[in-house]
Structure 1
Amino acid sequence: MQPYAPVLPSSYVPNTSNATINMDQVRELQANHVRNDAELQEVKLAETRADQDLWDSLAEIFSIIVTLDELEKAFLKDAIPEAEYTEICERALKQYRSILADDSVARAFVGLEEFKAEWGLEAPRATERIRVGMPSTTMTASSSAPHQAPAATGITSGALIAEATQDFITFLDALRLGMLAKDQLHPLLTDVIQSANKVTGGADFENRGKIVQWLITLNQMQASEELSEQQARQLEMEITQAYNGFKSILT
């Protein structure tokens, strides 16, 4: 696995008079953290290739947490466009989950709070973003045009609607086939909200919030943890309601 340290593009410099974030300094700090960690690990900790890979993965997690925290600060200061924030945040969260899917890394990591304590991290904004498991732009529906889809754009619009419809159906079919584990359902439900957002432009629709709440619930489960039968039935009902709400704004 290639080392991954998401960084904010150099163009993301705060554009408000009171902004204090210097993104070049942020990237340099991140690079120093990763470089210093790697040097310490090579000298003191890594005795085998497996050990080195493990410490590389933990260093990547450290870098992702630092980057997410700075990304959230930049977004709050309007120093980064929503689309760019969403893209970087989604990529960082996906990489974070991917690294921790390795059992040996997960055991060494223990948990987010334990990892932060061990390495002297606070990162409150990154902590909340990881807890939720999605960008704030995905969680919060736009109120500019509630219950109304954007104007149709011909073939492109039709393709996006078809993709979102298929994602809803795929998720519901997975539930009916007995796929109840977090690592089975979370990616599929993420596809649902992302494809629905492409169609609606992030505008609200009936029961959209239930998709978001279930994403948060699934994100906080262990990878192999499964929903109970009662939870699965409730999830199927609520996502069906959200699907109907989505369809209602297309008419």
Structure 2
Amino acid sequence: MGRQFFVGGNFKMNPVTREQKNALVKVLNDADIDTNVEVVIAPPALYLIPLKETLRKEIQVAAQNSYFKTSGAFTGEISPAQLVDAGIPYVILGHSERRTLFHETSELVADKTRAAIDAGLRVILCVGETLAEREAERTKAVVDAQLAPVVAALTPADWDKVVVAYEPVWAIGTGKVASAAQAQAAHKDIRAFLAGAVSPAVAESTRIIYGGSVTAANCKELGGQPDVDGFLVGGASLKPEFVDIINTKRA
């Protein structure tokens, strides 16, 4: 059986108002979307429960982050147990903004991933290189190093709860996008790393999605690559064109 196409929408720290949130919900609820695609949107934490309660059932919600402790004196954090209790199925971990702005290491991301899976969550695990690393031809080395602590923290059986999101940092929110060939090469390298570090079966079944200035204009070419199993969409997920991206695989 082939890997199910996956489209995630990372709203980041948007929308700002409840009216904007309601407008996004209406667009998604009214849209004609491909029911063969797994669709997950990640709003700010404030809107997780309202969106879960108002979105059509075909669209799931994800938290944008979670901590590795179940409870305690960790002001500002959300625990995986709290997300599970609220009926939230997914969490994004390791996003480049968390790594750069909030100084999260790959080891911390691995701890968070382990805790999330133990609590019953599914994880969208983000990896990717900077422009300087890309220009130094270090993409594979950087991504492998980001994945290695997660591989060490998980069992092979855990990987059916992980979607890997390859997001080149230089393409996030910049309008630049990896070419279809660049995306395919990076995804193929990730699959090869998983084959060697975990197992060929895990490598074949794990969905690897692309993120970085994905739009309705480029999604068809990107989504047509053999190792690109979907997208993690940023800014375009706040616009009506997100529906076109969800429908990438429609003829």
Per the TM superposition, whether the score is higher than 0.5 is no
> Larger C-alpha radius of gyration, 1 or 2?
1
Q: TM (normalized to structure 2)?
A: 0.30
Of Structure 1 and Structure 2, which has the larger fraction of its residues in strand?
2
The structure where helix makes up a greater share of residues is 1
